[in-house]
Structure 1
Amino acid sequence: MSVQRSTVIFAWILLLPAVLYVLVIVAYPLVDTFILSFTDASLKKTTNWVGWINYGKIFNERFAEVIVRTFVWTFFSVSIKMIIGTFGATMLNAAVPGRALFRLFTMPPWIVPMAIGIFMWGWMYNGQFGMISGVLQNFGLVSGPVAFLAYGGTAFWATIFTDVWIGVPLVTLYLLAAMQAIPQDLYEAAWTDGAGRLYRFRRITLPLIVPAVITISMLSLIATFNSFDIIWILTQGGPNGQTTTMIIDTYQVAIASKKYGEGAARAVLICIFLSIFSLCYFRITSRLAAGDKR
């Protein structure tokens, strides 16, 4: 018993730094934000307890549009990243000459500092001297300069494409690693039986990379849902709020307007959504693990 007890104590000692990190860096700010959401905290000296008033303020027609816009923005961004990432990983996994060089070419969007990459896209979206507008005019697709970030519809999709450009390399490399972990014996046996490339991809590759697809989809979803830099640098939520997502709205209320209590309520709502996403992820992965055991 003494040996077992000492083993348990030693294990807790090893876990202590991680436990302290979670309590100090994660748990305390989360609890403090939750408490703050029930107050009217701002720049004024006194802070009063207001109960559920801050939560009542965010459930209005305008914020409902922000929530829907956030989910639409996240859905299209993650979906496009997964489609392009899967296609890119399949191409990079193929036995073609120079594939090491092709893999290297996927890295720049991920290596370049995010702010610099976003500013670069901002210049390309410019209507007067941007590359995209210039190319469209040269090919006769548009009759004049197109200021992509000046209109709600084009600005919305411009932020999505920028997020896709930044996120695709990570998805591609993650799925490429999953594909390379598949035993080659499976492909050789299928090839011997006369299976074509499409059939091998559909019946071997896709089923075996499903866990990796689910994991990277979840990670990408959380990162995209919380994405602040891309929208803020390109549009700051404009024009006319057409690119304002929940994280942008929270910043505008809590930091720009100095309404810390209302901003905290919005942050709690974001945390609830992400917790639901995480629970769904763990439920799916546990079912997959149970299926593998069977």
Structure 2
Amino acid sequence: MNHERGARMFAYALLAPAVLYVAAIVAWPLVQEVQLSFTNAGLAKTYSYVGFDNYTKIFRSGFGEIIWRTFTWTFFSVSFKMIIGTCGALMLNVALPGRAIFRTLTLLPWIVPMAIGIFMWGWMYNGQFGMISGLLQNFGITSGPVAFLAHGDTGYWATVMTDVWIGTPMVTFYFLAAIQSIPRDLYEAAWVDGAGRAYRFRRITLPMMVPAILTMSIISLISTFNSFDIIWILTHGGPNGETTTMVIDTYKVAIGSYKYGEGAARSVMVGLCLGVFCLFYFRLVNRLSSAEQL
């Protein structure tokens, strides 16, 4: 009994630094954030508790539309990353001369500092000097300059495409590593049996990539949902709020309007939305894993 108790105490001692770190860095600021969301804190040194007033203001200000826009923006961005990343990984896995060069070029969007890359895309979207607008005019697709970031629909898709450009390299190389970990014996056996490329992809590659796809999709979704730099640098959430997501709206209220209590309430809503989604996501993953075992 003494030996068992000593082993347990030793285990607790090993866990204590990690527990203290999580409590100080994650748990305590989170508790403070929740407490702040029930106050009317601002630039004034003193503030008072206002109950759920900040949360009622959220839904009175059209926050539901912002939530919907955030989920659709995230859905399209992550979907494009998964599709393009899968295609890119398959092409980079082919044994061709100069494959290392193509892999290096694929890394460029990831290597370039994010702010510089976003500013570059901002110039490309410019209606007067941008390359994209110039090409459209040269090929006769448009009769005049197109200011992509000045209109709601084009600005929305411009931010999506920029996020896809930045996030696709990570997805591509993650999927490439997953493909290269698949045993070659499976492909050789299928090839001997006369299976074509499409059949081998559908029956071997794709099923073996499912764990990597599930992992990368949740990582990409969380980072995309919380994306701030891309939208803020390109459009500041405009025009007319057409590219304002939950994170952008939280920043505008908390930092732009100095309404820290309302901003904290919005950030709590961001955390709740992500938490609920992750809960359903992991339940779905557990069901899929159980079905595979059966």
TM over 0.5: yes
Render the CA deviation track for 1:32-80: whole Å, top value 9, x for unaligned.
Answer: 1111111111112221111111100111362111111111111110111
- Normalised to the residue count of structure 2, the TM-score between the two structures is 0.96
Aligned-partner Cα distance in 2 for 1:8–1:104: 49
State the match for 1:132 in structure 2. Answer: 132
State the match for 1:238 in structure 2. Answer: 238
State the match for 1:90 in structure 2. Answer: 90
61 and 44 in structure 1: CA distance in 2 versus 1, 3 angstrom threshold: closer
**Which 10-residue stretch deviates more, 238-247 or 59-68?**
59-68
Gaps of 5+ in 1: none
Render the CA deviation track for 1:124-182: whole Å, top value 9, x for unaligned.
Answer: 11111111111111111111111111111111100000000000001111111111111
5 Å-filtered alignment, 1:63-102, equals 63-102=63-102
Q: Which aligned runs of 4 or more in structure 1 are off by greater than 6 angstroms?
A: none
5 Å-filtered alignment, 1:169-188, equals 169-188=169-188
State the match for 2:277 in structure 1. Answer: 277
7 and 105 in structure 1: CA distance in 2 versus 1, 3 angstrom threshold: farther
Aligned-partner Cα distance in 1 for 2:200–2:156: 38
State the match for 1:166 in structure 2. Answer: 166
Aligned-partner Cα distance in 2 for 1:231–1:137: 26
State the match for 1:22 in structure 2. Answer: 22
Give the counterpart letter for 1:222 in structure 2.
I
Gaps of 5+ in 2: none
Q: Once the 2 structures are TM-superposed, how far is the Cα of residue 5 of structure 1 from its aligned partner?
A: 3.2
Confirm or deny that 1:144 pairs with 2:116: no
Identity %: 68
Aligned-partner Cα distance in 1 for 2:7–2:126: 63
Render the CA deviation track for 1:105-138: whole Å, top value 9, x for unaligned.
Answer: 1101111111111011011111111111111111
Give the counterpart letter for 2:214 in structure 1.
I
Asked whether the equivalents of residues 251 and 263 of structure 1 are also in contact (C-alpha less than 8 Å), the reply is yes
Aligned-partner Cα distance in 2 for 1:287–1:185: 29
Give the counterpart letter for 1:85 in structure 2.
G
**Which 10-residue stretch deviates more, 284-293 or 191-200?**
284-293
State the match for 1:287 in structure 2. Answer: 287
Confirm or deny that 1:217 pairs with 2:236: no
What is the number of residues matched between the two proteins?
A: 294
Aligned-partner Cα distance in 2 for 1:137–1:105: 28
State the match for 1:191 in structure 2. Answer: 191
Asked whether the equivalents of residues 214 and 281 of structure 1 are also in contact (C-alpha less than 8 Å), the reply is no
